[in-house]
Amino acid sequence: MPARDGYIRIIFIQEVTGMVVDIGALMAQNTASPTVDEKRMAFDGTERVLSRTRLLEVPIHRECDIQYLRIMADLEWPVTAYLFGMAVHDIWAVGELLDVQDARRGAGNMAGAIARLSSIVFDGAFGQSDNLIGNIPWECTESILIPGEAGSGSGSLFGSGDASNWKLLETYRKGFEGPTWDPRGDGASVDVAGQLTKSAGGNPILDLVLPCQGSTLRLGGEDVLFSLLCFDWSGNLLSSVSKTDATEQTIKIPDGTWTIRLSVDSAGQIPEVTVDSPGRAVDPRVGLYVGDDGVVTGIPSWTS
């Protein structure tokens, strides 16, 4: 089934190369929400999920979009997707390889293709919500040190080379994949009601690669004080807004935005980022060629 109210704008993002294909509703008709297939087994009278397979299929009609999606697939770097509806949105914030399949159906039908993302990630940043960050762990979390290399390797806000990551996670979700809140050190936690205790490192932050230029986002949550900042590929601040009391705030995402960052000063509930207006889809934005070595050199022409 599609999101309750259908989709208005669908954004495919290749984080390593900086390539973005942005599709309007009329060019992606009959898109359905990702399907989830679970394999279960009974243990001592209860069923447990052993594996999950997710599938997103987006029918594309405009040849320009199809050609750029094929280029994105040929580059063979992971892709994420944000599907904006009237009020409810589907988030696919776990990078997977894109597949573009020909979908020509004979005389009298529009030529086209189907863009497909498939994932066997058991627990990740997938989901349907009116809150763009509603499926990222917040309640019942604490600072957990996850060994590994930080970031995605694209843009100056990522790929710092830090040998370890602090993440806000439930203890049983250490395998969660996708964007997570960075508590900035040890000692941070969020209780079941969403009440934040900060670490000595400062405000927890969440970075999302979300080049949704032209959209208007709203910061909400009566008991949350936080900021949203927009950066280009090089990490230059383009625009920002702060919610300093119970009054909701909005921001129109400027051209050239690559990453948005949320920084929470205090919270007694989950922060809310909703979409006032998805904005109009723009033409495909060309990224960089990145070879098998993963070395990113240069700046995509559409940002700075």
Question: How far from chain centre, in Å, is Cα 22?
Answer: 14
Query: SS3 sequence, 248-278?
Result: CEEEECCCCCCEEEEEEEEEECCCEEEEEEC
The least confident of 46-50, 136-140, 241-245, 257-261 is 46-50
Residue 68 reports pLDDT greater than 80:
yes
Q: What is the b/e burial string over 81-120, where b = at least 16 CB atoms within 10 angstroms of the residue's CB?
A: bbbbbeebbbbbbbbbebebeebeeeeeeeebbbbbbebe
Residue 235's identity, in one-letter code, is G
Neighbouring C-beta atoms of residue 302, cutoff 10 Å: 21
For the chain, what is the mean pLDDT?
89
Task: Please tell me whether residue 27 adopts helix, strand or coil conformation.
Answer: helix
Tell me the mean pLDDT in the region 239-253.
Answer: 98
Confidence tier at 103 by pLDDT (50, 70, 90): confident
Confidence tier at 102 by pLDDT (50, 70, 90): confident
Residue percentage of the chain with pLDDT more than 70: 90
Confidence tier at 39 by pLDDT (50, 70, 90): confident
Antiparallel, parallel or unpaired: β 126-129 and 113-119? unpaired
Residue 106 reports pLDDT greater than 60:
no
Question: How far from chain centre, in Å, is Cα 101?
Answer: 23
Q: Report the distance separating Cα 215 and Cα 137, nearest Å.
A: 24
Neighbouring C-beta atoms of residue 218, cutoff 10 Å: 17
Q: Is the pTM of this model over 0.95?
A: no
Predicted local distance difference test score (pLDDT) of residue 156: 45
What residues have CB less than 8 Å from 62, skipping those under 6 apart?
23, 27
Tell me the mean pLDDT in the region 270-277.
Answer: 97
Task: Tell me if 299 sits within 8 A of 234, measured CB to CB.
Answer: yes
Burial of 125 by CB count in 10 Å (0-12 exposed, 13-18 middle, 19+ buried)? buried
DSSP states along 61-123: --HHHHHHHHHHHHHT--EEEEEEESS-EEEEEEEE-EEEEE----TTS---EEEEEEE--SS
Burial of 124 by CB count in 10 Å (0-12 exposed, 13-18 middle, 19+ buried)? buried
Predicted local distance difference test score (pLDDT) of residue 28: 80
More reliable by pLDDT, 183 or 41: 183
Q: What is the pLDDT of residues 202-221, one digit of tens each?
A: 999 999 999 999 999 999 99
Task: Tell me if 284 sits within 8 A of 258, measured CB to CB.
Answer: no
Q: Report the distance separating Cα 45 and Cα 127, nearest Å.
A: 29
Tell me the mean pLDDT in the region 73-92.
Answer: 94
Q: What is the pLDDT of residues 123-176, one digit of tens each?
A: 999 999 999 999 999 999 999 998 765 444 445 444 333 446 899 999 999 889
Structure tokens at 144: 């957990």
